[in-house]
């Protein structure tokens, strides 16, 4: 039904189309707030029914990238071990990938997924929904790691 109301734009999704799609409060996501981040082509989607989790979405060329910031890298103890553990559990996280991104000169761990800019509206909404669920699990793991001073075995949590 979602695809019937939101056909794929001829030139693929852009920030305007993505804003309209997610501002329509797709049923799969519940109540959301959307806003374009100042002076950018990044859409911030706040999922109110998932604890206010924010998913950042941008369309660039042939892809749509969805991302959730998990933690500032400088707050993570034993980063080398943490990153090794992320690589170990990565395959247990469906449709999402761990990464490091830099925002205003600061490194952040993120969880992200990407789709074709010609994906259906239903696929875009599903990506945001799955990414949000995965990010909530990942945030718990990161919290355990930080709370234990880097002694946690997040691989067992997966």
Determine the pLDDT at residue 88. 87
- Which CATH number, 3.30.1460.10, 3.30.360.10, 2.60.40.10, 3.40.50.1000, labels domain 2-147? 3.30.1460.10
Extents of the domains making up the chain: 2-147
Look at residue 126 and tell me whether its pLDDT is greater than 90. yes
pLDDT band at 95 (very low <50, low <70, confident <90, very high): confident
Look at residue 3 and tell me whether its pLDDT is greater than 50. yes
Q: What residue ranges in 12-139 does DSSP mark as E strands?
A: 32-36, 42-47, 53-60, 63-72, 97-103, 106-116
Q: What is the pTM of this model?
A: 0.88
Determine the pLDDT at residue 104. 92
């Amino acid at each position: 039904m979602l695809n019937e109301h939101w056909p794929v734009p001829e030139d693929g999704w852009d920030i305007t189309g993505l804003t309209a799609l997610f501002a329509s409060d797709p049923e799969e996501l519940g109540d959301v707030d959307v806003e374009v981040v100042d002076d950018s082509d990044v859409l911030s989607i706040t999922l109110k029914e998932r604890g206010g989790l924010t998913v950042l979405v941008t369309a660039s060329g042939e892809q749509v990238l969805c991302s959730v910031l998990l933690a500032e890298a400088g707050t993570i103890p034993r980063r080398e071990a943490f990153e090794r553990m992320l690589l170990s559990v990565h395959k247990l996280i469906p449709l999402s990938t761990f990464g490091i991104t830099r925002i205003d000169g600061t490194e952040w761990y993120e969880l992200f997924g990407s789709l074709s800019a010609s994906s259906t509206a239903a696929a875009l909404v599903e990506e945001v929904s799955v990414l949000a669920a995965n990010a909530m699990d990942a945030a718990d793991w990161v919290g355990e790691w930080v709370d234990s001073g880097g002694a946690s075995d997040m691989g067992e949590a997966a």
